[in-house]
Structure 1
Amino acid sequence: MGAPKSGSGKTTVVCALLQLLRQRGMKTTAFKNGPDYIDPMFHAQVLGVPSYNLDLFLFGGEAGGIRTARQLIARHTGNTALAVIEGAMGYYDGIAATSEASTYALAGAVSAPAVLVVDGKGAALSLAAQIKGLAEFRTDSHITGFIVNNVSRSVYDYFKDIWKRETGLIPLGYIPVMEDCRLSSRHLGLITADEIKNLRQIMNKLAAQAEQSIDVEGILRLARSAPELSYDPVVIPSGTPVRIAVAKDKAFCFYYEDALDLLTQMGAEIIPFSPLTDARLPLCDGIYLGGGYPELYAQELQQNTSMRENIRKAIQQGMPCLGECGGFMYLLEQFRQDQQTRNWAGAIKGTCAMTSGLIRFGYVTLVARQNTLLCRAGESIRAHEFHYSDSTHNGSAFTAHKALGKRSWPCIYAQGNLLAGYPHIHLWGNPKWAWNFLEACRQYKTGVRQCKSRRTP
């Protein structure tokens, strides 16, 4: 499902549809186009199973990105009745002034029929012009139908046939204004699903409305018209099992499910832990600290002294550690906000602080300037940055090149067993990097065993 622009109601409509399908007992898989971490959390809360990101840029672009997207869709939908993909931004909006990595590009890559979610508030016949314009902007738009958001039943019933006649597309229902079902936002997008205490009540209300006003059977007919996916699969190797401690709590919750799944396929056992509430790391051979909102829990992170010290000592003793954005921030010595300073893990010298706006935003290509935990000098992977904080020690192990732009800057701290920085990567963008991380964890595990063996009388 796509839209003319952000804020049209895609997430609301998708969640309403997912909840309704779940109540009907129909097994559904949800996906999100683009690098957004938060919308998939809502999908997962509704369905009770993970939602997955599809990002043609992060997957490598062109043929490689298409192959990966098709492989992941096939992997996750083998025994489901329907796959629902939520688009990003406006339907044709991709990198800079192009449609690269857009919802339109993804629809073409996976041959999926597209349904527009359009905001009908304050519009009548002009809505048909908008819908038709989007559908005909490209001859291969894949747009086949539309759902109108923020209109009453009487308005929809009056204009439905007019909109259909003028656009040649299928009207698939509407959602009225539902003030008590609005999802709040903060600086990185919507607040996370876990923070909404009445989320289940909201989703039930949305599903009840969708039952009355969304043409689910029409959507299912469109889905059944999609052709079978064909692709040349990427063969994933598997090695000796290792345990990877993954920070998962309110402060650290930004992960691509398929990246974690890739580690699992390669032999990793994912062990969740909480830097907020756990006293120490679980028994593990490596650490993965993802992004999230550590700034909202700065005091609690500081107060958990045992965890901070445990992580720092584990890294100092050679345990491999990967940190992204919020995880990178936590690995620094201090966090400063509102004239207060909080002590954090201290595995990397330096401080970080929130700023008044976005520091670096958008897609980049990372090129290694030195050998690191994940790769050798000269190797590259695509990434995404989106953060309102900055640090005094962002690192210089990589150069970030702005996608389709001329800007570049040094980034990411990398030394020995530690790699951490602001960019978010998707390990499916270069599975070799995931393998290298796990190989480092295996070597660490072997070294620890040998050390213990030598100490045994």
Structure 2
Amino acid sequence: MTTPSLPRLIVSGLSGGAGKTINSLGLARAWAEAGRTVAPFKKGPDYIDAVWLGLAARGICANIDPFFMSEDTMRSLFWDRAAGADVAILEGNRGLFDGMDTEGSCSTASVARALETPVLLSLDCTKMTRTAAAVVAGVSGFEPGVRLGGVILNRTAGPRHRAILRSAIEHYTDVPVLGALPKISPDPIPERHMGLVSNREYAGQEDILGNLARIMRENTDMDRIWAMAQSAPAPSQAIAPLWPDAPAAQDVTIGYVRDAALWFYYEENLEALRRAGAHLVELSLLSDAPWPEIDGLYLGGGFPETLAADLSANTAMLQYVRGLAESGLPIYAECGGFMYLTQGVTYEGTDYPMAGVLDVHTEFRPHPQGLGYIEARVERENPYHPVGAVVPGHEFHYSACVTNAPSAHPTVLAMERGKGTIDGRDGIVKNNVFAGYAHIHAFGAPWWAPNFVAAARRFKDGSRP
């Protein structure tokens, strides 16, 4: 079956901080305000930018990441999520050609090639004029198969600066200048230690996104950007179904916490659990509302440190979760969820007691303690990952795991890349609890969801560890 074409573009830059987030959010919201259905995507493992893109597009953003998935799976995910949309916009990460090696594997450029999608370059023009033309020319001709469809000039100083930049780029290259944004002060997007502030902790996101849409409308040629997106071809090869197998009957219930403290989840992870046979229910650690009966619990990442006082004050919930863990309930906890299961979190000099399931403590520190992709070999039996498998994932945390007795905590993952939790290892296991700093993606660990559901089924049937 032939897949029809779809207007689409990738917003990238020369490095992080080039202005691509402003351009991506502004374009997505401007098109949404114009009545178009926008399919948003984020390249890389970032949860926070992805949520903001989803808000801007008034939809759900998917992460496209060649570290976790093959090119075929990337294409399947893209076209599955873009079905029915009027346009798709994908925000890149880092610089356009920045990858994991000299060849640029896992770069935004590699995604642009795989998805046959033109690139809109966000160029930071601070203290630069004619050199911008050399940069654009270099980017345009650097890598075969990557089509630079246009450039937006960011952080321009004034009309004269913009005129020189535009004239030089259009004289020396055939790349059209599709917009020029002034320097914007203060920064219109709130940030903190892990990037953008969570929308769950910030009430002004609609004003921010509306302002960004206005900035793009007033300073870019929206018609020519739309024409660039329309120039994307139909896919040159057949697109396989993202989920080729029929879903299993949902015979167990798995809860997942989604509140202001914990909300980092890939939608594909949740869908993988559903298709493996789980009925999912959304829960909160901050609310006093009673939970329904569950057969498993998924604790994602988030910002438990900034809400540590509220989490710690909800002592009934702390005791309840500890009781669930002691009963043998399968619990899978990633990063922030792991922090919640420890004895406590130290944040800005104050210790906040947590659920006490694991006999370790976490301390928030001023610099990242783990940052980037990870690969971990499974060395010990556990309910979720088979022994011998290599689990790809990522970690991004400012807290550190603290313990006086590292050997007292059974861990199942040996880090081949990344920091982990304790002495180069991750995945602390206790009863049916698996907890650590690593985040995984269901397409990178396809066994995870079926194994999690199987563990929930054993628990429901009365089997205990």
Q: Cα 1:309–1:274, aligned 2, differ >3 Å: closer, same or farther?
A: same
Cα distance, 1:348 vs. partner? 1.4
- Amino acid of the structure 2 residue aligned with 1:441: A
CA distance in 2, matches of 1:286, 1:333: 21
User: Which of 167, 170, 176 matches 1:170?
Assistant: 176
Tell me the alpha carbon deviations over residues 398-448 of structure 1, each in whole angstroms, 9 at most, x when there is no partner.
111127xxxx92211124421110011111212221111112112222339
Cα distance, 1:290 vs. partner? 0.7
Cα distance, 1:238 vs. partner? 2.3
CA distance in 2, matches of 1:383, 1:343: 28
- Amino acid of the structure 2 residue aligned with 1:133: G
Alignment match, 2:272: 262
CA distance in 2, matches of 1:48, 1:395: 43
Farther-moved stretch of structure 1 (14-23 vs 338-347) = 338-347
User: Which of 153, 160, 173 matches 1:148?
Assistant: 153
Alignment match, 2:132: 127
Cα distance, 1:158 vs. partner? 4.9
User: Which of 9, 13, 16 matches 1:3?
Assistant: 13
SS of the residue aligned with 2:39? strand
- Amino acid of the structure 2 residue aligned with 1:412: G
Q: Cα 1:75–1:31, aligned 2, differ >3 Å: closer, same or farther?
A: same
Alignment match, 1:216: 222
**Residue 457 of structure 2 is aligned to residue 442 of structure 1:** yes
Tell me the alpha carbon deviations over residues 299-354 of structure 1, each in whole angstroms, 9 at most, x when there is no partner.
11111111111111112212111100110011112222344322111111111111
Alignment match, 2:114: 109
TM-score by structure 2 length? 0.89
Cα distance, 1:69 vs. partner? 0.9
- Which consecutive unaligned segments of at least 5 residues does structure 1 have? 60-64, 451-457
CA distance in 2, matches of 1:167, 1:399: 50
Within 5 Å, give how 1:239-278 maps onto structure 2. Answer: 239-241=248-250, 242-278=252-288
- Which consecutive unaligned segments of at least 5 residues does structure 2 have? 1-10
- Amino acid of the structure 2 residue aligned with 1:174: A
CA distance in 1, matches of 2:225, 2:192: 32
Cα distance, 1:180 vs. partner? 4.8
Contact 1:34 1:55 in 2 (8 A): yes
Tell me the alpha carbon deviations over residues 187-206 of structure 1, each in whole angstroms, 9 at most, x when there is no partner.
21121223333221222222
Alignment match, 1:196: 202
Q: Cα 1:66–1:16, aligned 2, differ >3 Å: closer, same or farther?
A: same
Alignment match, 2:307: 297
Contact 1:15 1:203 in 2 (8 A): yes
Alignment match, 1:184: 190
Alignment match, 1:81: 86
- Amino acid of the structure 2 residue aligned with 1:443: R
- Amino acid of the structure 2 residue aligned with 1:240: A
- Amino acid of the structure 2 residue aligned with 1:228: A
Contact 2:133 2:165 in 1 (8 A): no
- Amino acid of the structure 2 residue aligned with 1:84: I
- Amino acid of the structure 2 residue aligned with 1:18: A
CA distance in 1, matches of 2:432, 2:453: 11
Alignment match, 2:45: 35
CA distance in 2, matches of 1:75, 1:208: 30
CA distance in 2, matches of 1:339, 1:184: 24
Contact 1:181 1:206 in 2 (8 A): no
Within 5 Å, give how 1:363-402 maps onto structure 2. Answer: 363-391=373-401, 392=403, 396-402=411-417
CA distance in 2, matches of 1:236, 1:308: 38
Alignment match, 1:424: 439
Contact 1:150 1:175 in 2 (8 A): yes
Q: Which portions of structure 1, spanning 4 or more consecutive aligned residues, are displaced by more than 4 angstroms?
A: none
Cα distance, 1:280 vs. partner? 4.1
- Amino acid of the structure 1 residue aligned with 2:366: S
Q: Cα 1:338–1:221, aligned 2, differ >3 Å: closer, same or farther?
A: closer
CA distance in 2, matches of 1:25, 1:439: 43
Cα distance, 1:153 vs. partner? 5.1
Contact 1:395 1:411 in 2 (8 A): no
Q: Cα 1:289–1:98, aligned 2, differ >3 Å: closer, same or farther?
A: farther
**% identical equivalent positions:** 30
Alignment match, 1:232: 240
Contact 2:130 2:164 in 1 (8 A): no
CA distance in 2, matches of 1:259, 1:205: 33
Contact 1:395 1:421 in 2 (8 A): no
Contact 1:153 1:176 in 2 (8 A): no
Cα distance, 1:235 vs. partner? 2.4
SS of the residue aligned with 2:209? helix
Alignment match, 1:433: 448
CA distance in 2, matches of 1:236, 1:46: 32
Aligned residues: 440
Alignment match, 1:52: 62
Contact 2:15 2:96 in 1 (8 A): yes
CA distance in 2, matches of 1:196, 1:308: 25
Taking only aligned residues, the RMSD between alpha carbons, in angstroms, comes to: 2.2
Contact 2:129 2:164 in 1 (8 A): no
Cα distance, 1:293 vs. partner? 1.0
